A and B are shown apart, each in its own frame.
Chain A
Amino acid sequence: MSTENNNLYDNINVGDLPKSTPGWKIVVQEILADKLALFSLIIFTLITCYVFGLTLFLSLRDIVTVDLFAINVAPNDEWRLGTDYGGRDIFGQLIIGTRNSLAIGILVTLLSVGFGIVYGVICGYFGGHIDNAMMRFVDFMIILPFLMIVVVFVTIVPSYDIFTFSLMMAVFLWMGTARLIRSLALQERELDYINASRTMGSSHFKIIFTQLLPNLVGIIIVNGTLSLAANIGIEAGLSFIGFGFPEDYPSLGTLMAYAQNTQTLQHRPWVWMPAAILILILMLCVRNVGEALRRAGDARQRQG
């Protein structure tokens, strides 16, 4: 014990205070210590790189063009994963679909978590009447039937792209983050460093964005990772019932949607099974990493 301490303080210059391990270092240590999380992170990165890399060489037009001579072909040498009822290559759809699903998932997460943070931190930091009024609105948003309203939006909006679609989803998905950040900001604002900064005349804006939020970064990352896993599933669900992207713009959900045809579900599992497995793998990997990060934020549960 004592030798360790000696080593620790050996190189400290006069005037240098001993620093605690920086946050990112704990995160790296924790992920390296948790073999499952490390494995998940590697798998997720590999899939992402593979998918985004391969889409550069695939042509969406070739893949979604109907080919009447190759309808419902079972997997063989030419069609690695077979074709659907329009003679379209499942493998190509899977690659492009995974890319689209990941892109939407990440975009929805960035938008909803971003807005949730700003909303929550304003509530928590200012407190009082502002907090009360703004949180009543959150209570209202939470009770809305999410799926139904998004379905209605998707039908009445004449056209949308990845960004506007993600925006429509994010409008109804920021409340969880807002509640979390608010409760943390409420605790944080009572602490001395905020008061000290306030006495020195810092503006609210400066305190919130340069002093308060950096202290919540760990939790924000955890929250974002866990929402990413959920959002991938939600997008797939929407596309599955036919209110996400159309068939000529594949996502993992549109591939699953082919299984709504009982013939396809029963006799042509190659159409929907790979997408189902991929959704499970992606969500599991992202969640594993998120859980490891959550443990990293909670000193009692650390493994490394």
Chain B
Amino acid sequence: MIKFTIRRLLITFPQLILLSVLVFILASLMPGDALSGLIDPDIPREQVELMRERLGLNNPWYIQYRDWVWAMVSEGDFGRSIFHQRPVMDLIGDRIWNTVWLSLMTVFFIYAIGLPLGLISGRYNDTITDSIITGYTYLGFATPTFVFALVLLYLFGFVWPVFPTSGSVRAGIPPGSLDYVLSKINHLVLPSLSVALIGLVGTVQYLRSGVIETKQKDYVILARSKGVKEGKIYSRHIFRNSIIPIAAFFGYEITGLLGGSVIIEQIFGYPGMGRLFLESISTRDYSVANVLILFYGFLAIVGALLSDIILSIIDPRIRIK
């Protein structure tokens, strides 16, 4: 177990280095550098050259790369946004919680709706209810999230306006009050539901086939012949065993949601990190965009690591030698 965890951790380091190299290359391909936003035409050329020299922009690429990584690791210096004239980390700090709340709400809906649907469809397989649920997963697999989100926004934001159509909270409410929290939740419902209703089809399908497989196992038949109530058989024996693969992919699910938030935040005008990314691209504020790519990549690496470790605890067969 410990051996596996260490081996798995060792794989993580080359991944982090590759990721940082990739982001560094992307950054150097982008037009402009740390000075582009600060320079105005009145400053003489020699002085600009001097500043470039002092900032190390004339150094060979490997020294620049070393300095860049060192600044991030030792001082937590991720650079400045040229457009906002603020440190990138401050900007991300403003937005990160919105994205975290959105992802948590989505995960909540995925499991709150997906698990019962999967259980019902597995328990009563080949009935009309099951056909309806299976048909729904079939449709869900073929629907791009952004199309579905747009339709939901059209229906419940405009045609029948029950939910707000943009933002993360109603303006003019003091933070900390109950109204504030309710308004936040109200703004979260539509974006998170539109991701969750499409995202849960995988969970439903996994759980359904898991339940159908497990309910023919000997220990289930034994429990039934002992006279255990049907409801208890499902909640105690079958559910617990069919939930394993779903639990194991929890880590992937969360990082997937964080990464997939770009389009959804754009549609619902939700001020999270995904929207920040698109804004920074369109204002040519590349230093922000680079840190965001680095950040999302880092989250994905950690998520994969966690999922693999959870999986190895649950299922020893997958441990790498």
Contacts and interface: CB of A to CB of B under 8 A. Distances in A.
Given A143-B297, A143-B300, A148 B292 contact: yes
A284 B281 CA distance: 33
A111 B262 CA distance: 25
The interface residues of chain A, by DSSP majority, are classed as helix
A144 interface: yes
B219 interface: no
A293 B233 CA distance: 37
A139 B11 contact: yes
Interface stretch (A52-60, A65-73, A194-202, A264-272): A264-272
Given A237-B144, A237-B263, A276 B297 contact: no
Nearest to B305: A143
A6 B139 CA distance: 45
A284 B136 CA distance: 12
A61 interface: no
Nearest to A282: B142
A108 interface: no
A240 B14 CA distance: 34
B204 interface: no
Given A139-B11, A143-B19, A256-B147, 10 more contacts: A139-B15, A140-B19, A144-B22, A145-B296, A236-B147, A242-B282, A265-B150, A279-B147, A283-B142, A287-B141
23 contacts: A136-B11, A140-B14, A140-B18, A143-B15, A145-B259, A145-B300, A147-B259, A148-B262, A148-B292, A148-B296, A151-B278, A156-B26, A156-B29, A234-B144, A237-B146, A241-B266, A242-B282, A265-B150, A265-B158, A279-B147, A284-B139, A287-B138, A287-B141
Contacts, number: 105
Interface string B14-57: 11001100100010011100000000000000000000000000
The interface residues of chain B, by DSSP majority, are classed as helix
Sorted nearest first, the 8 A-B pairs with minimum C-beta distance are: A233-B144, A143-B300, A145-B296, A266-B158, A284-B142, A283-B142, A287-B142, A145-B259
B69 interface: no
Interface string B139-159: 101111111001101100010
Give chain B's interface residue range (CB within 8 Å of chain A): 35 or more
A144 B154 contact: no
Given A136-B11, A147-B262, A262-B165, A152 B147 contact: no
A241 B278 CA distance: 8
Contacts of B158: 262, 265-266
Nearest to A229: B142
Interface string A145-164: 11111011001100000000
Interface string A220-241: 0000000001000110110011
Nearest to B267: A260
A265 B154 CA distance: 7
Contacts of A283: 142-144
Contact of B263 (A241, A259, A280): A241
Contacts of A256: 146-147, 150
A131 B233 CA distance: 44
B289 interface: yes
B113 interface: no
A172 to B, nearest CB: 11
B185 interface: no
A229 B143 CA distance: 10
Contacts of B154: 259, 265-266, 269
Given A136-B11, A236-B144, A156 B30 contact: yes
Contacts of B306: none
Contacts of B282: 242
Given A237-B146, A260-B267, A149 B301 contact: no
Nearest to A149: B293
B88 to A, nearest CB: 15
Interface in A255-304: 256, 259-260, 262, 265-266, 269, 272, 276, 279-280, 283-284, 287
Given A148-B277, A280-B142, A259 B262 contact: no
